[in-house]
Amino acid sequence: MTIQVYLNESHFWQFLIFNFLKHLKLYIRPVIFASILTVSAIICFLMYQVEGAVLLGTILLVTGLGMPMVYFASVFFSLKKQVRLQNLDPPRLVYTLQFSEDSEVLKISNDKELASYRWQDVFHAYYEDESIYLFITKDRAFLLPCALLEDRDKVWKSITAKLPVDRCSRHH
């Protein structure tokens, strides 16, 4: 099976959001931070009769909500910049994946190099609504936009035949 992957800005943007929210779960710590400071602020507001409690509650609330908002804004600004730097408008061929039912190796090539990965070393595969994400390592993935695949379920079946069940996730 040979898959030529032409990416556009939309595919790459969807992947970055998926990677941030679902794969790496980078939203958890800011949400916990905001929750702790918001609960602390509420406790301060409930103790309004104590001198300085309302001021402290206000500072905690502004900090607890403001810091995560700044974090998420900077992350999404950075993601948007990454999308622009990839020069995907118009869509372009970024790599070609090759694998077969009887091969234990996944080959990926672009105009500069050819790499081979053993299926047993593949970190995880995700089947989302718009794409299949094949993570070679925790931090390196190859995108297979479903719009480019003739039969995405066949591709997914081929991938899941190569990987253990605990390294395959289907989210739709």
> 45-78, pLDDT tens digit by residue?
999 999 999 999 999 999 999 999 999 999 999 9
pLDDT band at 135 (very low <50, low <70, confident <90, very high): very high
> What is the reported pLDDT for 141?
96
Question: Which residues have C-beta within 8 Å of that of residue 101, sequence separation ≥ 6?
Answer: 158, 161
Largest CA distance in the chain: 74
**Cα–Cα distance between 82 and 15 in angstroms, integer?**
12
What is the per-residue pLDDT for 172? 65
Distance CA 149, CA 28 (A): 33
Query: 3-state DSSP helix/strand/coil percent for the chain, to nearest 5?
Result: 50, 25, 25
- Band (pLDDT 50/70/90 cuts) for residue 101 is confident
Question: Which pairs with CB-CB distance under 8 Å and at least 24 residues apart come from 110-118?
Answer: none
**pTM > 0.75: yes or no:** yes
Tokens, residue 79: 């993601």
- How many CA atoms lie less than 13 Å away from 33 in the CB half-sphere? 16
